[in-house]
Amino acid sequence: MPIADHEFEAIVALSMFENVGPDRLKRLTDAGFLQTFPRHTVLFGQGDNPDFLHVLIEGSVALFAHTGDDNRTSTMEVVEPVDTFILAAAVTGMPYLMGARVLARSRILMVPSDVLRQIIHEDNDLAVAMMLALARQFRVMVRQVKNLKLRTSVQRTGSYLLLLSETEGVKKRFQLPYDKRTLAGRLGMTPENLSRAFGTLKQYGVTISGQTVSIEDPDLFRDAFALDRLLDSE
């Protein structure tokens, strides 16, 4: 399926491509193909070889990992459009350290990894763009590790909800972006621990009913779970 003009413009607008001209990017997109995936589709598993660079145009994708015996699975990250995911595997050709599952019907540009590596080898601007994108993704990973190491489960949950609230325009009522099991994995806890954290947040005037979050006193909540630019910024 050919890529539409507005979809190409969205790819060009990615920060990783900010110094790469449209003509060069067109070579990359022309080498790939667009595909639409229904919800729950597993795009690849952890340990699979990276056949493609994936660029999420529409929808959402969960990156997940599991133990060797597959008894425990956890969501590591949720990718929103427009963005690439697990770029390091596509660039190096090394096996995926995580799997990817479609959370909501998604349109994804898939560029063969060998073509990507060939173009990177030939095009210095694209090579620099890939290097900067990998650096940004590394910083995201460091923030996640710091969040897990330095905050309790209640602090992680409160800060995450505060960030959602401020992203929505400091709303007192908003919706969780995905189901609670996925959210628990994203925050590094079990669903049971997430439920307990939700219970603790009631003393700060926060209630969760289904997917709806209600904040009685935003100022009190903000004072209790102040955001940290080195932990919560992009």
pLDDT at position 106 is 95
Measured distance CA(75)–CA(156) in Å, rounded = 15
The set of residues, in sequence order, having a beta carbon less than 8 Å from that of 6 and lying 6+ positions away, is none
Over residues 75-95, mean pLDDT? 90
pLDDT at position 172 is 85
Measured distance CA(64)–CA(47) in Å, rounded = 12
- Other Cβ atoms within 10 Å of 100 Cβ, number: 26
Measured distance CA(146)–CA(23) in Å, rounded = 39
pLDDT at position 69 is 66
Nearest to 7 by CA among 26, 27, 23: 26
Spell out the long-range contacts of 48-51 with Cβ–Cβ below 8 A and sequence spacing 24 or more: 48/95, 48/96, 48/99, 49/93, 49/95, 49/96, 50/86, 50/89, 50/90, 50/93, 50/94, 50/95, 50/96, 50/113, 51/112, 51/113
pLDDT at position 81 is 87
Euclidean distance between the first and the last CA atom of the chain, given in angstroms as a whole number: 32
Over residues 2-6, mean pLDDT? 72
Over residues 156-184, mean pLDDT? 86
pLDDT at position 168 is 65
Question: Lowest-confidence range among 38-47, 80-89, 154-163, 225-234?
Answer: 225-234
Q: How far is CA 50 from CA 17, 77, 97, 128, in A?
A: 21, 18, 10, 21
The whole-chain average pLDDT of the chain stands at 87
pLDDT at position 150 is 93
Q: Is the pLDDT of residue 156 over 80?
A: yes
Q: Give 106-153 pLDDT, tens digit per residue.
A: 999 898 999 889 888 888 888 888 888 888 888 988 998 898 899 999
Dump strand ranges (E) for the chain.
33-37, 42-44, 52-66, 73-79, 83-85, 99-112, 173-175, 206-209, 212-215
- Other Cβ atoms within 10 Å of 212 Cβ, number: 11
Q: Is the pLDDT of residue 105 over 90?
A: yes
Nearest to 196 by CA among 145, 154, 139: 154
pLDDT at position 2 is 64
Q: Give 7-59 pLDDT, tens digit per residue.
A: 777 777 776 777 777 777 787 788 888 899 999 999 999 999 999 999 998 99
pLDDT at position 169 is 67
Host H or E run for residue 229: helix 229-232
Q: Give 187-231 pLDDT, tens digit per residue.
A: 988 899 999 999 999 999 999 999 999 999 888 998 999 888 888
Measured distance CA(123)–CA(88) in Å, rounded = 18
